[in-house]
Amino acid sequence: MAFMLFKPVGRALLAVLLVVVVAVAWFALQIDPIFAHKSKEVIITVHGGDSFATVASELHAKGVIASPFALRLESLVLGSVDVRAGSYQLRQGSSFSTVRAILSHAPNVDVIDATPGLTLHEIALEVAGERGVDFANTFAKVATSAATPSSFSDGSSLEGLVGAGTYLITSSTTPGELAKRMVARFRREATAVGLTPTSTIDGLHAYQVITAASIVEKEGYYPRNMPKVARVILNRLARGGPLQMDSTVLYYFQQDGGTVTHAMLETPTPYNTYLNVGLTPTPICTVSKDALEAVLHAPKGSWLYFTVIDKHGDEAFATTFAQQLKNEKLAEKRGLE
């Protein structure tokens, strides 16, 4: 009778042992997936407040690990990693020890925001803050030379010809690659709004459209103002007089906003649209789709002037200088200088 009981008990123990062996083998393969494909690098982004479970799920979704459950199980033994917010570059099929080593340090991918309105100089300063002065200086050099051409210009500067948005810089990214990515993104954005290198609008060729859009970006600031600002610029160009835009004067002095002094207005620079007639020789900042569309589809109107009239940034538009003076008095009454 005892022998009869031993056989099923033995089989049960054998089954349990087999399950344990399989589980251990499976867990070992999750920890160090020796058969996984390890060549492709991917980037995951951790946001402030993300739990370790959320991070593990993102790692799984990008193919870095095969099982978020196994990673969380390991963390019960070794402790969870305190992952800082930011972007990380990891290889697909990484071992858990590699994942923990990377995530336990500062993010290894730098993030650059080329927001509309920024100049190349300002973008280079942001790059310097993330990757250092040497990288930034090389980036500035390739962005202001023929080393990175754009189909929208025969010139050497990429001012206004970089796509707005976020760029991730990994350890293998070169300054030249970063500039090329920016040019490629702008080309896609321009195509999306119907602008091609051969486009013309109101007598302006594509590069001039972009230049006008960059002034709209600075002068209109908010998308709601931009269409009418674009019409003002087109109207002033059509009448042949100077544009008289403060943003262009400030651009030469590498200032973003602020007071335009009398000395600035009297300084004969290519960007002084009080002394010169027509557009500036280059765009003056990175442009948004809104600014491009404003120039491409400017509303009909005879406006020649505009000014900010409230603290919300709304602008009033006028056809005559007398109307402009009334708008300026309204702005002054509302506490604006």
- Where helices occur in the chain by DSSP H, the ranges are 2-31, 52-61, 68-78, 96-103, 120-131, 133-143, 175-192, 206-220, 226-239, 246-252, 262-266, 289-296, 321-333
Question: What sign does the dihedral 11-12-13-18 (CA atoms) show?
Answer: positive
In a domain, 248, yes or no: yes
Q: Are 288 and 218 in contact, with CB atoms under 8 Å apart?
A: no
**Measured distance CA(208)–CA(211) in Å, rounded:** 5
Spatial CB neighbours of 73, under 8 Å, sequence gap ≥ 6: 27
Report pLDDT for 297: 96
- Average pLDDT for residues 182-186, to the nearest whole number? 94
Domain boundary among 55, 82, 108: 108
**With 0-12 CB in 10 A as exposed, 13-18 as middle and 19+ as buried, what is 302?**
exposed
Spatial CB neighbours of 12, under 8 Å, sequence gap ≥ 6: none
pLDDT at 278 over 50: yes
- Average pLDDT for residues 56-75, to the nearest whole number? 82
- Its domain, for residue 176, covers 110-192
Domain boundary among 164, 192, 220: 192
pLDDT band at 289 (very low <50, low <70, confident <90, very high): very high
Q: Are 48 and 82 found together in one domain?
A: yes
Q: Are 302 and 285 found together in one domain?
A: yes
Q: Are 130 and 96 found together in one domain?
A: no
Q: What is the largest CA-CA distance in the chain?
A: 114
Q: Are 234 and 261 found together in one domain?
A: yes
In a domain, 27, yes or no: no
In a domain, 183, yes or no: yes
| Structure token pair of residue 223 | 């998308």
Pick the closest to residue 157 from 117, 195, 119 (CA basis). 119
**Measured distance CA(123)–CA(59) in Å, rounded:** 31
Q: Are 71 and 159 found together in one domain?
A: no
In a domain, 129, yes or no: yes
Report pLDDT for 17: 53
Between 8 and 126, name the one with better pLDDT.
126
Q: Are 326 and 239 found together in one domain?
A: yes
Q: Are 92 and 140 found together in one domain?
A: no
Q: Are 204 and 291 found together in one domain?
A: yes
Between 323 and 12, name the one with better pLDDT.
323
Q: Are 120 and 69 found together in one domain?
A: no
Place of tokens 């290198």: 197
pLDDT band at 4 (very low <50, low <70, confident <90, very high): low
Domain boundary among 192, 222, 244: 192
Number of domains in the chain: 3
In a domain, 31, yes or no: no
pLDDT at 48 over 80: yes
Q: Are 125 and 87 found together in one domain?
A: no
CATH number at residue 75: 3.30.1490.480
**Measured distance CA(316)–CA(95) in Å, rounded:** 61
Pick the closest to residue 216 from 231, 238, 206, 205 (CA basis). 231
User: Percentage of residues in the chain with pLDDT exceeding 70?
Assistant: 88
Q: Are 294 and 205 found together in one domain?
A: yes
In a domain, 30, yes or no: no
| Structure token pair of residue 329 | 């008095």
User: Percentage of residues in the chain with pLDDT exceeding 90?
Assistant: 52
End-to-end CA, the chain = 103
pLDDT at 252 over 90: yes
Q: What is the pLDDT of residues 188-212, one digit of tens each?
A: 999 999 999 999 988 999 999 999 9
Q: Are 73 and 167 found together in one domain?
A: no
Q: Are 213 and 186 in contact, with CB atoms under 8 Å apart?
A: no
Pick the closest to residue 116 from 229, 262, 2, 226 (CA basis). 226
In a domain, 15, yes or no: no
Report pLDDT for 58: 87
Report pLDDT for 172: 86
Pick the closest to residue 326 from 316, 336, 335 (CA basis). 316
Q: What contacts 24+ positions apart, CB below 8 Å, involve 15-18?
A: none
Cross-strand partners of 167: 112
Q: Of the spans 19-23, 113-117, 310-314, which averages the highest pLDDT?
A: 113-117
**With 0-12 CB in 10 A as exposed, 13-18 as middle and 19+ as buried, what is 9?**
exposed
In a domain, 5, yes or no: no
For the chain, the average pLDDT equals: 85
